[in-house]
Copies of this chain bind each other. A is one copy, B any other.
Amino acid sequence: MNAIRPARLRGVLAPVVTPFHRNLDVDVDAFAVHCRWLVENGAGLAIFGTNSEANSLSAGERIDATDALIAAGIPAAMMMPGTGTSSITDTVMLTRHAVQSGASGALMLPPFFYKNLSDEGLLAYYSEVIERVGDARLQLYLYHIPALSGAPISLNLIEQLLKRYPDTLAGVKDSSGDWANTKAMIDRFATEGLDIFPASEALLSNALPIGGAGCISATVNVNPAGIVRVHERWNQPDGGALQEQATAVRKIFQSLQMIAAMKHVIADWKGSKDWRIVRPPLTPFGEQAGQKLMADLQAIGFGMADGRVRAS
């Protein structure tokens, strides 16, 4: 088969926060509105990431929500859905659905229940998933987030997978928070064609000059245009100032429960308290903490208008 691979998504992507109804079902209408706003502001859609509460959803819920987004006109080519679960069966089903829906790629957590896994075991796992999906269109991004997955994606594992599946392995998201690790990934694999994404816009000005692909960052949910500007202009005269502005916003969220905090802010901007809803075991942001957060953002002059595209 001579399948046409989708164009790669590079630049700035949001792990899109997932809005819920009061009965905890996915609010697909609000989800589509938020995705559309992100795309209009230049961001790609890493739906079903850590900040999307994806692991609190069933595989069926993820598939239904993806279908609903596409039906609402959100372009599949702008999507890089998270498809990695602890179950190989669900992971294969989700990845296959992503590819068949026309998504640009699949961002795949390692299986995250067992700990102290060997590279051999993870290589066998990812290989089995790729073989079972069995679709030359698959563009696979590995997801390194050891603090939550407990299963680090080592340089050795990346190298072995790249050797085995050079046309399928497309990149890595590095949520280690360790710049030395991100840099090592970029140094070693960017020239071999892998797109390495750090998980924070604060690293854009470090990553882009040495060949990083952009960033996949939680706070893109609230500051897409501000972060896209950094990506576009980091090497221009105003690049340093743009980076500083984006990093200042990031810092406010970074010390908080990010998901609840971002949902609180979006709820405030939209005047819809339902946007605050998270699925347990997460807990919503409290009123007081929320007021402080809004005040902190105001103090640095950041509001909804700064997150979105402005007339230039």
Q: Which residues of A contact B (CB under 8 A)?
A: 24, 50, 55-61, 85-90, 93, 110-115, 117-118, 120-122, 124-125, 127-128, 147-151, 279-283
Contacts and interface: CB of A to CB of B under 8 A. Distances in A.
A111 to B, nearest CB: 5
Contact of A86 (B55, B61, B120): B55
Contacts of A280: 88, 111, 121-122, 124-125, 127-128
A52 to B, nearest CB: 12
14 contacts: A24-B128, A50-B113, A55-B113, A57-B89, A58-B90, A58-B93, A88-B280, A111-B280, A111-B281, A112-B112, A114-B282, A117-B281, A121-B282, A124-B283
Contacts of A124: 280-281, 283
A120 B87 contact: no
A56 B281 contact: no
Given A50-B113, A55-B114, A60-B89, 18 more contacts: A55-B86, A55-B87, A55-B111, A56-B86, A56-B111, A56-B113, A86-B112, A111-B281, A112-B112, A114-B148, A117-B281, A118-B281, A121-B281, A121-B282, A121-B283, A122-B281, A124-B280, A148-B150
A127 B283 CA distance: 13
A65 to B, nearest CB: 12
Contacts of A90: 58
This protein's copies in its complex: 2
A117 B259 CA distance: 13
Given A114-B281, A122-B281, A61 B88 contact: no
B281 A24 contact: no
Nearest to A128: B280
A118 B89 CA distance: 30
A58 B59 contact: yes
A87 B114 contact: no
A122 B128 CA distance: 34
Nearest to A61: B89
Shortest Cβ-Cβ A-B pairs, 4 listed = A125-B280, A121-B281, A55-B113, A58-B89
B150 A281 contact: no
A273 to B, nearest CB: 18
Given A58-B90, A86-B55, A128-B280, A113 B112 contact: yes
Contacts of A282: 114, 117, 121
A114 B302 CA distance: 29
A50 B115 CA distance: 11
A87 B57 contact: yes
Contact of A281 (B55, B61, B110, B279): B110
A300 to B, nearest CB: 27
